[in-house]
Chain A
Amino acid sequence: MPDPMILRLAAWALLAVVGLTPPGAAAAAPLDVALLAPQRTDAELALNRVVDALRQGKRATAVRELEALIRREPDFRAAHWLHAQLLSARTGRQGILPAGVDPLAFEELRAELHLRAEAEAALPADGDVPNVVMALAPRHAHLIVVDLNLARLYVLKNDDGRLSLVRHHYAAIGRNGSRKVSEGDLRTPVGVYHVTQWRDGRSLPDLYGSGAFPVDYPNAWDQFKQRTGYGIWLHGVPSGTYTRAPKSSEGCVTMANDDLTALRAYIEVGQTPVVFTDELKWLSSAEAQAQRADWLLRLEDWREAWASVDTERYLDHYHPEFSSPDMTRAQFVAHKRRVNEGKTFIDVEITDLNLWRYPGVDQPMVLVEFTQRYTSNNYASVSQKQQYWRQMADGQWKIFREVGR
């Protein structure tokens, strides 16, 4: 007996095309986003007040706010540096730096403040959606997106596919930046990952602070690209540290211990996707909806060709350089032709759909993830499927790789 909650892709696609929300989301009233301001630590809010006061030329207010912040977070080195700069300016004298201190020693603190301010200025408008995700299944209650350029981690809440920003904070990355390729390159990977574990800081070395969320780098795509390395974690910072410099780790993403601990409320091990991207943009919900509708139609075309046992039209969706972990394109084509000969009917249902505009790739690529319920006259299965769609030179999208789980 089919579960009434399982939605056929066809229904989704049509509703989206005519601008309606899918049935699953229809029950949820539009959220009053203004009432749901993203969660922040007091320290970040205080730093914002300092920056605002400086922009308005209110130096005394800025210093007062900054000193209150430093009393609360005495290990916030970037705040101390800003404080020192403001006090130096107040003397009207030169050469305030303590003897023997290299001014370059402050460069990473300056960079941290700069990135923090830049990220605050680039905050998305209410309802904006990160360009990495076009659809997110309701089973992922939250999504984490890390902007590796701006050193900022965003937590988005997923209300039946409707995303809203619930938290964001500073997060530092690998010493050599983004796009990890090999072990020891001191880079943070770019891609779509999942949290695999929670590790309490009390059972870890001091380096990891209040705890750690390991992610599943290298994922299936990384393995296909033969990327190496391991142990990419979201984690806290050592005692005596508030945050680490923007580029300071061996590839992990580090954040203030309070911020790391706050993530526990949102992260469900095995379920919460974590996207590391160095190409983050925020799309309006209209743009996002249009892209999503495009993809739902494209996917429905693939599903429908398969379910109609129209084997050649089905195979036409596969890229000339298609492969799966166990088959080349030629093997796959031969296999499908042979299998489909014995079918009198095929039914394919797709649920739990995620659509990722995959970050960090040289040619545009979309990762489609779903639960596939396959029924036919002589065989049935339920599987988790990942399809990597690539755009061809003529603009057509084809399935470049397919991985079953």
Chain B
Amino acid sequence: MFRSIVFPAAVALALGTGSLAVHANAVADAQKMMQRGDYAAALSALDAQLRSNPQDAEARFVRGLALTQLDRVPDAIRAFADLTRDYPQLPEPYNNLAVLYAQEGDYEKARDALEAALATHPSYATAHENLGDIYAALAGAAYNRALMLDQGNRGVQQKLSLISQMDGAPATAAAAPAAPVAAPQPAAQPATQPPAAAAVPPPAAAPFDTAPIQSAVNTWAQAWQNQDLPAYFFAYARNFTPEGGLSRSAWETQRRDRISRPETITLRISNLQVQSVPGGAIATFTQDYSADTYSDSVTKVLEMVREDGNWKITREFTR
């Protein structure tokens, strides 16, 4: 979803070259094709126009929109980035560049682009709105990093506004910004208008990596075997709930006693299986324990979550 979609019915641009009629036709034709959803044809028309008139800023801008619709995001980024380089005084290419960076998850670049847009046009409402969204997204990501939550889950689906028209275009690349030429506003928007850019597909879920969990289970077992109490308790999450209604402190006292009392402890883990579950993981394995005069073999289940960047145990029981 995009907050505001404005499609020009026609955009008159003051161009320094003599080919005004050709330009106006080419760009207007391309825009009609895009309104019909024929982005590939629009792109061909714009490419043809740019072959004869490579500096046509409006054509380049609309080409960037067509590429966006065709989901050719890197090419669209290049198109808008080139425009910001050649026409740094125009805010719209910066805004669209920012929207694309945000879709790619690169919120810092998106922010920089929007700030550049606002540097030339401080009252540019769309860029302000988008920048607020970008900052919120950046803050959300930073909060997640502060909690060491999963980095792969971007969570924040941005709804930024792509600008589909330039209010003013340069007379020539080198000229000072021309006084913005007010583009005739469309009288009414067609109800069936296509969105300016396709909805951003959600990022593909990263394959579940069991290695850190296996490693955490082994570290836990090793700490137990070594009777290393700090390392053993470190393996448990802050909200670990002991089985059987035992309080956390009663459980700790009991574990402290049972782990430190034997002369030696041997702990073997086999058949370790790790499953991904919402919010965490479950490790199941065979646990062979022997200490001084006692030994047993059980199927142990550890429910684990990521906490402070480490996999920690929230529940522990035998099956």
Interface residues of A (CB under 8 A from B): 67, 70, 74-75, 77-78, 80-81, 83-85, 87-88, 90-93, 96-98, 101, 105-106, 109, 183-184, 205-208, 231, 238, 240-241, 249-252
Min CB distance B258 to A, Å, is 13
Enumerate 20 A-B pairs (CB-CB under 8 Å) in ascending A order: A67-B108, A74-B145, A75-B309, A77-B146, A80-B146, A81-B143, A87-B135, A88-B139, A90-B135, A90-B139, A97-B143, A106-B146, A109-B146, A205-B222, A206-B219, A207-B230, A231-B230, A238-B234, A249-B230, A250-B233
> B223 an interface residue at 8 Å Cβ cutoff?
yes
Complex contact A96–B139 (CB within 8 A): yes
Complex contact B309–A205 (CB within 8 A): no
Min CB distance A398 to B, Å, is 39
Give the complex CA separation of A252 and B22 in angstroms. 77
Q: Which residues from chain B contact A81 at a C-beta distance below 8 Å?
A: 142-143, 146
> B132 an interface residue at 8 Å Cβ cutoff?
yes
Q: Tally B residues with Cβ within 8 Å of A.
A: 33
| Other A-B pairs, 13, CB within 8 Å; known A81-B143, A252-B230 | A74-B145, A80-B146, A83-B146, A87-B138, A90-B135, A96-B136, A97-B143, A98-B144, A98-B149, A183-B256, A205-B231, A240-B309, A251-B230
Q: Which residues from chain A contact B155 at a C-beta distance below 8 Å?
A: 98
> B229 an interface residue at 8 Å Cβ cutoff?
yes
> B147 an interface residue at 8 Å Cβ cutoff?
yes
> B140 an interface residue at 8 Å Cβ cutoff?
yes
Give the complex CA separation of A188 and B281 in angstroms. 33
8 A Cβ contacts from B124-138 to A: 132, 135-136, 138
Min CB distance A34 to B, Å, is 37
Min CB distance A86 to B, Å, is 8
Complex contact A92–B132 (CB within 8 A): yes
| Residue of chain A at shortest CB distance from B249 | A184
> B75 an interface residue at 8 Å Cβ cutoff?
no
- Pick from B132, B142, B145, B226: contact of A91, CB under 8 Å: B132
Give the complex CA separation of A189 and B142 in angstroms. 35
Q: Which residues from chain A contact B135 at a C-beta distance below 8 Å?
A: 87-88, 90-91
Q: Which residues from chain A contact B142 at a C-beta distance below 8 Å?
A: 80-81, 83-84, 87
8 A Cβ contacts from B214-269 to A: 215, 219, 222-223, 226, 228-231, 233-234, 252-253, 256
Complex contact B309–A241 (CB within 8 A): yes
Interface of B is mostly: helix
- Pick from A90, A98, A109, A207: contact of B140, CB under 8 Å: A98
Decide yes or no: A205 and B219 within 8 Å by CB, A78-B146, A80-B146, A250-B230 being known contacts.
yes
Complex contact B146–A84 (CB within 8 A): yes
Q: Which residues from chain A contact B148 at a C-beta distance below 8 Å?
A: 75, 77, 240
Q: Which residues from chain B contact A252 at a C-beta distance below 8 Å?
A: 230
Q: Mark B151-183, 1 if CB is under 8 A from A, else 0.
A: 000010000000000000000000000000000
| Residue of chain B at shortest CB distance from A78 | B146
Complex contact B139–A77 (CB within 8 A): no
Complex contact B252–A184 (CB within 8 A): yes
Min CB distance A5 to B, Å, is 43
Complex contact B140–A77 (CB within 8 A): no
Q: Which residues from chain A contact B233 at a C-beta distance below 8 Å?
A: 250
Complex contact A241–B308 (CB within 8 A): yes
Complex contact A240–B310 (CB within 8 A): yes
8 A Cβ contacts from B283-319 to A: 308-310
A-B residue pairs, 5 tightest by C-beta? A84-B142, A240-B309, A87-B139, A81-B146, A80-B146
Give the complex CA separation of A183 and B135 in angstroms. 48
| Residue of chain A at shortest CB distance from B215 | A206
Give the complex CA separation of A384 and B194 in angstroms. 88
Decide yes or no: A80 and B145 within 8 Å by CB, A249-B230, A250-B230, A252-B230 being known contacts.
yes
Min CB distance A70 to B, Å, is 8
Min CB distance A12 to B, Å, is 43
Complex contact A96–B143 (CB within 8 A): yes
- Pick from A184, A205, A240: contact of B223, CB under 8 Å: A205
Q: Which residues from chain B contact A93 at a C-beta distance below 8 Å?
A: 132, 136
Interface centre among B222, B231, B256 (most CB of A within 10 A): B231
Q: Which residues from chain B contact A91 at a C-beta distance below 8 Å?
A: 132, 135-136, 139
Min CB distance A122 to B, Å, is 26
Q: Which residues from chain B contact A238 at a C-beta distance below 8 Å?
A: 234, 309-310
| Residue of chain B at shortest CB distance from A97 | B143
Min CB distance B98 to A, Å, is 15
Q: Which residues from chain A contact B226 at a C-beta distance below 8 Å?
A: 205
Q: Which residues from chain B contact A84 at a C-beta distance below 8 Å?
A: 139-140, 142-143, 145-146
Complex contact A77–B147 (CB within 8 A): yes
Min CB distance A68 to B, Å, is 12
Q: Which residues from chain A contact B228 at a C-beta distance below 8 Å?
A: 205
Give the complex CA separation of A126 and B252 in angstroms. 46
| Residue of chain A at shortest CB distance from B155 | A98
Give the complex CA separation of A338 and B73 in angstroms. 97
Q: Mark B91-122, 1 if CB is under 8 A from A, else 0.
A: 00000000000000000100000000000000
Give the complex CA separation of A84 and B139 in angstroms. 4
Decide yes or no: A184 and B253 within 8 Å by CB, A77-B148, A205-B222, A241-B309 being known contacts.
yes
Give the complex CA separation of A179 and B256 in angstroms. 20
Interface centre among B146, B155, B226, B309 (most CB of A within 10 A): B146
Q: Which residues from chain B contact A75 at a C-beta distance below 8 Å?
A: 148, 309
Min CB distance B255 to A, Å, is 10
Complex contact B256–A184 (CB within 8 A): yes
Q: Which residues from chain B contact A74 at a C-beta distance below 8 Å?
A: 145
Min CB distance B153 to A, Å, is 10
Interface centre among A67, A83, A92, A252 (most CB of B within 10 A): A83
Min CB distance B159 to A, Å, is 14
Complex contact A77–B308 (CB within 8 A): yes
| Residue of chain B at shortest CB distance from A249 | B230
Give the complex CA separation of A87 and B230 in angstroms. 37
Q: Which residues from chain B contact A250 at a C-beta distance below 8 Å?
A: 229-230, 233
Q: Mark B71-104, 1 if CB is under 8 A from A, else 0.
A: 0000000000000000000000000000000000
Q: Which residues from chain A contact B230 at a C-beta distance below 8 Å?
A: 207, 231, 249-252
Q: Which residues from chain A contact B108 at a C-beta distance below 8 Å?
A: 67
Min CB distance A237 to B, Å, is 10
| Residue of chain A at shortest CB distance from B147 | A105
